[in-house]
Chain A
Amino acid sequence: MTATHVLDFPLPDVGEGLTEAEIVTWRVAVGDLVEINQPIVDIETAKAVVELPCPFSGRVSALLVAEGQVVPVGTPILSVEVSSPAEPLPHSESREAVLVGYGVAHGTTRRRRLTSRAAPRPSAPAPVVAGRPIAKPPVRLLARQLGIDLALVAPTGPHGDITRDDVQRAVTPLVEARPVRGERIPVRGVRRAMAEAMVRSMSTAPHVTEWLDVDVTGTVRLVDQMRDHAAFAGMKPTPLTVVAAAMIHAAKRTPIVNSSWIDLPDGSSEIEVYSHMNLGVAVASDRGLVVPNVRDAGSLSVSGLARALGELTQRARRGDLTPADSVEGTITVTNVGVFGVDGGTPILVPGEAVILATGRIVDRPWVSDGGLCVRPVMQLSLSFDHRIVDGAAGSTFLADVAAFLEAPPITLA
């Protein structure tokens, strides 16, 4: 009788980088005679169910892995007693495979029947992204279907993009029961529009704010004159009228403040400098903040401005404004002084380059011609989109507005 020896068959990687497989069905039993290339076992990998051929001919001496067991590549699964001195298999323990067709990530084995279960995703800090939120079209569709505004979703994708999970997470808080600890105010209509506009503006335009205190003695005097003047009969001229005139005047020297940043579909950008000025006025209404604008304000006389601003604010307070009043503004003024404060860091109306906030007019100590005196003083706060307006242009505009208010170059006939 010839000497026999036993050879083990280690589980091969049958699919380019697989790490394990399940033994599904043994086709041979201990004691069976097997031939080279005879199918001996069905295995299931992450990719497929395949049958393995026997690399030896001889008698099966052991099945080393039971059906249903999942074992790593390289695990001996079968022992065969061979009679001829067969050449042992040169086994490399973990050969790196080339990739053709569908690959499987190293170290993961997802079973077919488990593919619907989402793998946990490591959440990495995402870069802050300006502009349109980045999301793949199917994710955008999902967001649309779920009524989620992508601008309000925190991205966790590897490129700062919003993933499907991010959108789902944005829905969850609405669905999950959170204990009610106060009055719930639905966010819709004007309030929702405001919220979305503010988020859009802050997430796209880099804001810079500058401040300047102005002695508005000249403005106060002019407003008093206007109130007594025939041309302003039936109107209520206010310092805002003069501020509007000052902005129109100052924008003539610095036209870039009356402009808009435009992102083009090809990824490039342009700045559109307007030849007209639709002057928006931020108004607090019962339903929230609205910003109607005075059309082509630059073409109006001071009395025309006073009339238009008066009408606008009245209609706003009555709730008579239509959405058409609030579109296509090019520059905005907001009078926070009516609330008794001096200034702040106003947020741009999306698509505009500057916004001017005017504070309360209050008597303050003021130094004039080297002497201390008491003057009506107002603070101006100017925020601008630093992509469009640089510090020099913003400061020039602000200083020009201040100079106008200090000594309005307007003579009432």
Chain B
Amino acid sequence: MAETAIQLLTPEGTRVEHPDYPLEVSAEQLRTMYRDIAITRRMDVESTALQRTGELSLWCPTLGQEGVQVGAGHAMRPGDYGFTTYRESGIFHVRGVEADELLQLYRGNTHSSWDPQRVGLGLFTIVIGSHALHAVGYAMGIQRDGTDDAVLACFGDGATSTGDVHEAMVFAAAFSSPVVFLVQNNQWAISVPVERQSRVPIAQRALAYGMPGIRIDGNDVLAGLAVTRTLLDRAREGGGPALIEAITYRMGPHTTSDDPTRYRDESDYAHWDELDPLERLRRHLLLIGEADEVFFAAVEAECEELGEKVRGSIRGMPDPDPMLMFDAVYAEPHRDVEADRAQMGAYFTRLQESA
């Protein structure tokens, strides 16, 4: 499948040109993307370890999918807006979400993590596929504002089986809204293989909605960057929505609560390991002579430092003040919420007095 997908960087690290997706990328930008993938991966490993030592209640690993995520994140302009799932650490990082900002959600300290306006990313929904509708709604809002921003809606192959995603695509096509649907086909919807969900390549579905459907190598950061940028620009110039199917693989479990050895064959891993996005970019940088072992060692040291920092900040994170729950229910003070707040405050005071 990956053979038919658009690829700008081979697994061996060789640059390939594609007539429809010309890409000029500086060495500096290549090194930045390498660093982004490496940091995303290191945070992933640290988050899994934190969950396994009881510091987080859950973690959703991104391992293996960082290529397209970092590429797409770099394709977005500052004013663009993204709506994502929970398995998008690469985009979170590129857009400026701090690791401990993200992890406080998984620690159960907050219902939401980052400030969506600051990073241009909606808070992710756990409900599968529902944010595709939010993305199209936002894109329709852009049309009414008359700006040239665009929206990136990210979800997995499993979400394409939901009604919300179908409705989102119907609306996006009908209104020619500036939104690009980025499907990360990681082959597995928890334990259901993609073959069980679609008889045709998911990209092919786009044609029926009336938008282009492009398959890319999801482990190729450059294909992710070039194709997403081209289609976002097409959308912002009035060309309408498009769908990208990025072929990749979920190298880890669905979540830390999942045991993939129960339902999939470990022999698949070796194949996908050959296509690894980080190793591919590393080979490329070495081939073109734009990075050396000193650079890679520096990135690794930075990753270790970040891992330690996040571990410390999560372990030292105090339990939240329970009264915070009343703060963000409504934008403005609300009589019933204030009554609840007063009642709960009195209850805590009584508890302390009786202790």
- Do A and B associate with each other? yes
List residues of chain A with CB under 8 Å of any chain B CB.
Answer: 9-10, 12-16, 36-37, 47-55, 87, 89-92, 95-98, 100-102
- When chains A and B are docked, how far (Å) is the Cα of A112 from the Cα of B312? 35
Q: Digit string of B1-30 for contact with A (CB within 8 Å is 1, else 0)?
A: 000000000000000000000000000000
Q: Which residues of B contact A95 (CB under 8 A)?
A: 57, 108
Contact A12 B54 (CB under 8 A): yes
Q: Which residues of A contact B264 (CB under 8 A)?
A: none
- When chains A and B are docked, how far (Å) is the Cα of A21 from the Cα of B86? 27
- When chains A and B are docked, how far (Å) is the Cα of A96 from the Cα of B190? 23
B294 in the interface, Cβ–Cβ < 8 Å?
A: no
Contact A91 B54 (CB under 8 A): yes
Looking at chain A's contact residues, is the secondary structure mostly helix, strand, loop, or mixed? loop
A92 nearest in chain B by CB position: B319
Least distance between A395 CB and chain B CB atoms (Å): 54
B253 nearest in chain A by CB position: A48
- When chains A and B are docked, how far (Å) is the Cα of A55 from the Cα of B256? 17
Contact B190 A101 (CB under 8 A): yes
Contact A87 B316 (CB under 8 A): yes
- When chains A and B are docked, how far (Å) is the Cα of A54 from the Cα of B49? 8
B317 nearest in chain A by CB position: A90
Least distance between B223 CB and chain A CB atoms (Å): 30
Q: Digit string of B251-277 for contact with A (CB within 8 Å is 1, else 0)?
A: 001111111011000000000000000
Contact A97 B108 (CB under 8 A): yes
Least distance between B112 CB and chain A CB atoms (Å): 13
Interface size on B, residues (CB 8 A): 29
A88 nearest in chain B by CB position: B315
Contact B52 A98 (CB under 8 A): no
A10 nearest in chain B by CB position: B54
Contact B257 A53 (CB under 8 A): no
Contact A96 B108 (CB under 8 A): yes
Contact A102 B258 (CB under 8 A): yes
Contact A13 B53 (CB under 8 A): no
B134 in the interface, Cβ–Cβ < 8 Å?
A: no
- When chains A and B are docked, how far (Å) is the Cα of A12 from the Cα of B58? 11
Contact B190 A53 (CB under 8 A): no
Q: List 27 A–B pairs whose Cβ atoms lie within 8 Å, in order of A's numbering.
A: A9-B53, A10-B54, A12-B51, A12-B52, A12-B53, A12-B54, A13-B54, A13-B57, A14-B52, A15-B256, A48-B258, A50-B52, A50-B259, A53-B53, A87-B312, A87-B316, A89-B53, A91-B54, A97-B57, A98-B108, A100-B58, A100-B60, A100-B255, A100-B257, A101-B254, A101-B257, A102-B258
Seed contacts A12-B54, A12-B55, A101-B254; 12 additional CB < 8 Å A-B pairs: A12-B51, A12-B52, A14-B51, A37-B46, A48-B258, A48-B262, A50-B52, A87-B312, A92-B319, A95-B108, A96-B108, A102-B257
Contact B258 A52 (CB under 8 A): no
List residues of chain B with CB under 8 Å of any chain A CB.
Answer: 45-46, 49, 51-55, 57-58, 60, 86, 108, 126, 190, 253-259, 261-262, 311-312, 315-316, 319
User: Knowing A51-B52, A101-B190 touch, does A16 contact B108 (C-beta < 8 A)?
Assistant: no
- When chains A and B are docked, how far (Å) is the Cα of A90 from the Cα of B126? 27
Q: Which residues of B contact A51 (CB under 8 A)?
A: 52
User: Knowing A10-B54, A97-B108, A100-B126 touch, does A48 contact B60 (C-beta < 8 A)?
Assistant: no
Task: Name A53's contact: one of B49, B253, B261 (CB within 8 Å).
Answer: B49
A96 nearest in chain B by CB position: B108
Least distance between A98 CB and chain B CB atoms (Å): 6
Q: Which residues of A contact B258 (CB under 8 A)?
A: 47-48, 101-102
Least distance between A63 CB and chain B CB atoms (Å): 17
Q: Which residues of A contact B255 (CB under 8 A)?
A: 100-101
Least distance between B328 CB and chain A CB atoms (Å): 18
A112 nearest in chain B by CB position: B262
